């Protein structure tokens, strides 16, 4: 927690939102875009599976390959533009530095063990080290899925990108793995929100109930 | 890659195609099933609206891809040892419905915005300067395979027939009722080939005898086989899959 945040706490009624407005908008637009990207992506995968399984068709979006491709290549614009705004904001405003940094391996290990023992307290507005690692990890996966996606979409025009991933077929596998990492994150994310439901409100409205009174002494 | 695997995959795809065609008849107007309907509570009208948006985005993507396309950027070429054997058969029908075309009487018809509309026999086409390439065929379904095609560079052919290269489209009609079209920029790309051979042999029926257009900068379905007629036009000609919803430009 920065001194600026603590200073804000001294004037309770005008407490700073836990999640800035831009982050909240990014989050929900991204959730909407990812829903369509993943659902249609599974349908596209099913047309020619890389591995020995297919996704359940009722969990896919698009109705058939052509419909899924249309959804995928429409939603990608929302996903990518929204993501670029978030990345630029995250670096320029210091949001990434404030929220995800520092990230020390021993803190991750400590918080991981605390979490396993169900002793890790949730301090609204402060990410524990495991959360920081997960958020940085999913941002890397999101960048990776765009990178590999460009290589799969345009293996000739973006052949240098494709080459760095081992060519077209390599890019397909990286795209699948990045999707898997993102889906794993989403499952974990939704599970934790279900376990600690009060974390949902700040992502919707910016603040938690009684947030300005106490933060549980959260120190990063 | 083993020899059996591509064959098995090709057979699998054939079955898929049949199923897809059946399903497509009633799914054409409904964008989605299951998840979308359940999770968003959309009714059929909403889905029609969604489809309008995605169709408009597909047109927008045509423009973006045309802007990304470079007439000088070449598709990677490969070594003979990289060729996928056997090269998969792929069509909107099964292998036993591959059309028969008599090479002895065959003539390629040329029409539209061209100065010289004479038809071309196979021997006349074989007498033109030939080129060959080993390139990757990328299917819209996701799989890819490397093959070797030889024939007449399409740009040289267009110049020879006096095609209006400022026109927007080149369209193709095929012996299997397939049809497709491409943008002039891609038609003039140095690797776009009027292919008459596969693996240095006369193009076999399953790969598109008497000729296919080989375009390594496009997805596989943009490479028409069994071409009977080609025409140059400014009126959007569409295509078999394009009219069903595949993106028209579909560049790689």
Q: Does A169 touch chain B (CB under 8 A)?
A: yes
Q: For residue B163, what is the DSSP state?
A: B
Q: How confident is the model at residue B4 (pLDDT cuts 50, 70, 90)?
A: very low
What confidence score (pLDDT) does residue B16 get?
52
Does residue A85 lie within any of the structural domains?
A: yes
pLDDT at A219: 32
Strand B144-153 to strand B131-138: parallel, antiparallel, or no bridges (unpaired)? antiparallel
Q: Are residues A22 and A74 in the same domain?
A: yes
Count of residues in chain B: 252
Q: What is the pLDDT of residue B44?
A: 47
Predicted model pTM:
0.84
Q: How far is CA B236 from CA B177, B181, B206, B231, in A?
A: 18, 8, 28, 11
Are A77 and A157 part of one and the same domain? no
**Same domain, yes or no, for A109 and A201?**
yes
In a domain, A83, yes or no: yes
Mean pLDDT of all residues belonging to chain B: 87
**Residue B217 near residue B251 (C-beta atoms within 8 A):** yes
Measured CA to CA, the distance from residue A119 to residue A110 in angstroms comes to 11
For chain A, what is the domain count? Answer: 2
* CA-only gyration radius of chain B, Å: 19
Write down which residue in A67, A93, A119 finishes a domain. A93
pLDDT at residue B6 is higher than 90: no
Q: Rounded distance, CA B75 to CA B190, Å?
A: 10
By the CB < 8 Å criterion, does B141 face chain A? yes
Chain segment A161-197, per-residue pLDDT in tens: 999 999 999 999 999 999 999 999 999 999 989 988 8
**B33, B60, B77: which to substitute to probe chain A, counting the most A Cβ within 10 Å?**
B33
pLDDT band at A120 (very low <50, low <70, confident <90, very high): confident
Judged by CB atoms closer than 8 Å, whether chains meet at A70 and B34 is answered as no
Mean pLDDT of B116-144: 97
Q: Is the pLDDT of residue B10 over 80?
A: no
A58 and A151 housed in the same domain: no
**Distance (Å, rounded) from C-alpha A31 to C-alpha A200?**
14
Structure tokens at A199: 């974390």
- pLDDT of the residue at A214: 38
- Same domain assignment for residues A112 and A181: yes
pLDDT band at B2 (very low <50, low <70, confident <90, very high): very low
Distance from CA of A202 to the nearest CA of B (A): 23
| Model confidence pLDDT, tens digit, residues A50-77 | 999 999 999 999 999 999 999 999 999 9
CATH of domain B4-30+69-244: 3.90.420.10
Show which of A45, A62, A93 is a domain's final residue: A93
State residue B40's pLDDT score. 52
How close does chain A come to B205, measured CA to CA in Å? Answer: 24
**Per-residue pLDDT, A118:** 82
What one-character DSSP code corresponds to residue B29? T
Shortest distance between the Cα of A154 and any Cα of chain B, in A, equals 4
Using the structure block, give the residue that is written with the tokens 């819209």. Answer: B140
Q: Does A31 lie in the same domain as A84?
A: yes
Question: Measured between beta carbons, which residues in chain B are less than 8 angstroms from residue A73?
Answer: 57-58, 61, 247
First to last CA, chain B: 23
Give the number of residues written for chain A: 220
Do A168 and B136 lie within an 8 Å CB cutoff? yes
- Phi-psi domain of B230 (left: phi exceeds 0; alpha: psi -120 through 50; beta: other): beta
Helix (H) or strand (E) segment spanning residue B187: helix B184-187
Kindly list the domain boundaries of chain B, sorted by start residue.
4-30+69-244
Residue A216 lies in a domain: no
Q: Helix, strand or coil for residue B28?
A: coil
pLDDT of residue B85: 95
Q: What is the pLDDT of residue B155?
A: 98
Which of A66, A93, A120 lies at the terminal end of a domain, its last residue? A93
Domain that holds residue A60: 17-93
Residues A108 and A170 reside in one and the same domain: yes
**Per-residue pLDDT at B96:** 92
Q: Are residues A111 and A194 in the same domain?
A: yes
Q: Are residues A107 and A194 in the same domain?
A: yes
User: Considering the domain boundaries, does residue A220 fall inside one?
Assistant: no
**Over chain A, what is the mean pLDDT?**
87
Nearest-by-Cβ selection for B32 from A63, A157, A168: A63
**What's residue B49's pLDDT?**
84
CA distances from B70 to A157, B185, B220 (A): 7, 8, 19
Q: Are A58 and B33 in contact (CB under 8 A)?
A: yes
Torsion of CA A35, A84, B141, A41, to 10 degrees: -10
Whether B25 has a pLDDT exceeding 60, the answer reads: no
CB atoms within 10 A of CB A104: 11
Instruction: Compute the distance between CA of residue B237 and CA of residue A20 in angstroms, rounded to an integer.
Output: 50
Beta-bridge mates of residue B108: B120
Residue of chain A whose Cα is closest to the Cα of B19: A64
* Residue reference for tokens 């140095």: B190
CA distance B205 to B198: 10
Mean per-residue pLDDT, A84-96: 94
pLDDT range class, residue B17, cuts 50, 70, 90: low
Least confident of A202-211, B59-68, B234-243: A202-211
Strand partners for B181:
B171
pLDDT band, residue A210 (cuts 50/70/90): low
Q: What is the ipTM of this complex?
A: 0.83
Query: Is A161 part of any domain?
Result: yes
Give the residue from chain B lying closest to A75, CA to CA: B54
Which structure tokens are listed for A155? 């293996």
């Amino acid at each position: 927690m920065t001194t600026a945040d603590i200073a804000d706490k001294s004037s309770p009624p005008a407490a700073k939102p836990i999640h800035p407005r831009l982050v909240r908008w990014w989050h929900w637009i991204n959730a909407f875009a990812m829903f369509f990207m993943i659902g249609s992506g599974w349908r596209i995968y099913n047309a020619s599976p890389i591995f020995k399984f297919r996704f359940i068709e009722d969990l896919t979006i698009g109705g058939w390959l052509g419909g899924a491709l249309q959804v995928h290549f429409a939603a990608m614009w929302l996903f990518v533009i929204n993501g670029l705004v978030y990345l630029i904001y995250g670096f320029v405003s210091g949001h990434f530095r404030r929220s995800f940094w520092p990230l020390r391996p021993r803190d991750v290990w400590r918080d991981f063990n605390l979490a396993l023992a169900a002793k890790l307290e949730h301090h609204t507005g402060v990410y524990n080290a495991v959360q920081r690692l997960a958020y940085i990890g999913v941002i890397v996966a999101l960048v990776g899925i765009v990178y590999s996606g460009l290589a799969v979409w345009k293996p000739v025009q973006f052949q240098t990108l494709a080459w760095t991933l081992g060519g077209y077929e390599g890019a397909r596998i990286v795209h699948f793995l990045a999707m898997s990492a993102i889906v794993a994150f989403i499952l974990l994310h939704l599970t934790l929100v279900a376990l600690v439901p009060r974390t949902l409100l700040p992502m919707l409205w910016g603040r938690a109930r009684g947030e300005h009174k106490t933060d549980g002494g959260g120190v990063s | 890659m083993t020899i059996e695997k591509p064959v098995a995959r090709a057979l699998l795809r054939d079955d898929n195609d049949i199923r897809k065609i059946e399903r497509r008849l009633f799914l054409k107007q409904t964008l989605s099933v299951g998840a979308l309907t359940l999770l968003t509570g959309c009714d059929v009208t909403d889905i029609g609206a969604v489809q309008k948006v995605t169709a408009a985005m597909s047109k927008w993507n045509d423009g973006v891809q045309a802007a990304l396309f470079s007439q000088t950027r070449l598709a990677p070429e490969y070594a003979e040892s990289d060729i996928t054997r056997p090269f998969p058969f792929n069509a909107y029908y099964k292998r036993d419905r591959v059309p028969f075309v008599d090479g002895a009487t065959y003539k390629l018809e040329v029409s539209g915005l061209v100065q010289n509309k004479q038809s071309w026999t196979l021997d006349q086409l074989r007498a033109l300067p030939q080129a060959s390439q080993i390139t990757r065929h990328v299917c819209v379904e996701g799989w890819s395979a490397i093959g070797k095609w030889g024939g007449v560079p399409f740009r040289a052919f267009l110049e020879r027939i006096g095609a209006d290269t400022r026109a927007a489209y080149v369209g193709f009609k095929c012996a299997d009722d397939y049809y497709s079209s491409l943008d002039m920029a891609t038609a003039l790309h140095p690797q776009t080939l009027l292919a008459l051979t596969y693996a240095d042999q006369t193009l076999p029926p399953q790969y598109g005898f008497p000729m296919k257009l080989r375009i390594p900068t496009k997805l596989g379905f943009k490479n028409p086989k069994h071409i009977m007629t080609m025409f140059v036009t400014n009126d959007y000609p569409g295509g078999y899959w394009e009219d069903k919803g595949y993106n028209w430009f579909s560049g790689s």
